[in-house]
Chain A
Amino acid sequence: MSEPKIVLDEDDIRRTLVRIAHEVVEKNNGRPVALVGIHRRGAFLANRLHQLVCDLLDQQVPLGDIDIAFYRDDIASRRPDPHVNASNLDFRLEDYTVVLVDDVLYTGRTVRAAIEALFDYGRPQRVQLAVLADRGHRELPLRPDYVGKNLPTARAERVNVRVAEIDGVDEVTITELEEAFA
């Protein structure tokens, strides 16, 4: 594996989240919004975004998190995830525009699973998607509403998002996988 190349550092991530928070508020124009993070790192990003949105609106908006381990379409070929988290959605989805928050948007399969999981809890007024990084290579017809950074990547590259809450540092890096040259 090559040396990781930093594409977003701590300051970049902070500024990016502030911008996305403003976009969420502007786009929803007074409509009630709720933020739902996709486990694991999306949940931490949603938490930060939630704080920023609440500050901008000067009111509390609902925050939840969702685990999509049981909704994946590749469940039969994956090793069962040892870290499945319980989802927390303790508000009525029907009353809100739900902004799903994830770290990286890639094939779109995680988001598809998250939407399916969300609908097991209720029927939101609308669902929007916010991602810190969009690396392309979509396999489903999905498009994010809020993008931190578009990252043109090759499939042989890996985008790594690290967040201070669990990784001790905020950064987004790209590494090249050696298998690509095997």
Chain B
Amino acid sequence: MMQWTGDPYVDVGLATILAFRNKEDPAQLTDDDLRAMAEWIAENYARNPLKSFLTVAFTSNAWFAQPSFTPEKREERGKVHLFAWQQASSGTERCVFTGLPSAAVPLSDKLAPGRAARAQIPLTQGDEDINFYPNGDSGLAISGQALLCLQAFPLGCAKLSGRLLAVHASQPAVTLAFAREFLAINRKNIALAQQAGETKLPETRYGIGTLLVDTLMKIIAESRYLADDSAPFSIIAYHLTNGQTPEIAIYHLPLGVTGFLRLARTPRYSAAWGRIAQAALPRQAEDDGAAGNRKRLAKAKGATAKPTIQRNPLYEDLLSLPEEAPRFLRRYLLRDALHQAKSLTATQSDAAVPAAGSASWDLTELFLKEVMSMDKTRIEHIRALGDRLADYVAAENDRRFFRAFYSEQNYALLRNALLKANTNAVRRGKPPLITFDQFIEVFEEGEDIAYKDWKLARDLVLIRMIERLAAWLSDNADALPEPSADGSSLPEDEQT
């Protein structure tokens, strides 16, 4: 019986077979299902566009691509690779992926029976090479079932920048959903290329993060993963080629990031998330414009323009989380708060302003909790400080303090501005804006060097302040710098 292994190659291959047969659970797979997959591969891998493209997965020594093979030998090797699962194995070794007995068939003239190498398993060594194998025994033991999964593996990947993008999730259903999406696109492209007599398989023109997150959001929207109580999952994407210059890059979407994305689509946060996603698109339009110029220039010169890779900066930046969370927060959430305040002050009356800008903080709070694991108490202190400072600015009309708090790059000067405002409030018979304990809670990290992330704390307080100050800002629009798509309105050292 087939089952998930935890290995990206085998699991994505297994997911591809499931998707090919429109099934959900490996336990549902029958011999008929495996045979159907094997027969489809036998028919299509040995001809274009897959024959030329799949050397990126299995090298030109693959059974369907090796130019020195006679048709008989190709057929014989194809059967060995695709139907070994049918044979009762007498192999003495155990498959490194499944733990099943290894296939007792030779996969090349140089490997011991039941062992596979670079022509079957991407990025392993060649048939005779001994490096990285125990005792210098070339190849890895593999079962017939795992071998078929490996053969199916590239069909469940996206073709991107001449490589394969395999998506492996901690929840098999998510791995299956990605494989289903990519298989559908591949089968359509294969059929079109075969009809047109094309030798090349068209490729996805998206950046890795753009394709990954765009597909994930589609999967979330269409599946039960939107539910708050569904199991969390993390994703690892492998962008690889096993061709002439082997290469692999690994990208992570951790549990917290996928949790954030799932919740960002729910009604409470969807408006703010939609705005941010939309705001990220103008850069796309600029790229398209640049691409259009390049195309026109190339046409004028009689050359073919290199296709542009489309990147959604928001989706690409999600791949840098949680390590780059402060930068992400500044670039998207603070910018969104600024855009909101600016657009509201330009278009709405005072009476309409207060409610309209809401939800920026809600989404920020979700980000802090899901992605940054920020302590609930600290979040509460930040929000409360934002409220108090906003009330102070509005009541005292203290534009100087607002601008200092917004743009100060020197921590000591920011602290001085806060102290002055505090003193000012107390002098007027009001409670202090911030107590010592609250100050420590908001601006210090804890065990590490004090004030390490004071700019992050300042940005968070600002998001809340700007949201709360919508009415005041409508009368003091010039207190805000001009928001711009590239974040150039943000404090100087916080761009990029």
On whether the two chains bind one another, the answer is: no
Interface residue ranges, A against B (CB under 8 Å): none
Interface residue ranges, B against A (CB under 8 Å): none
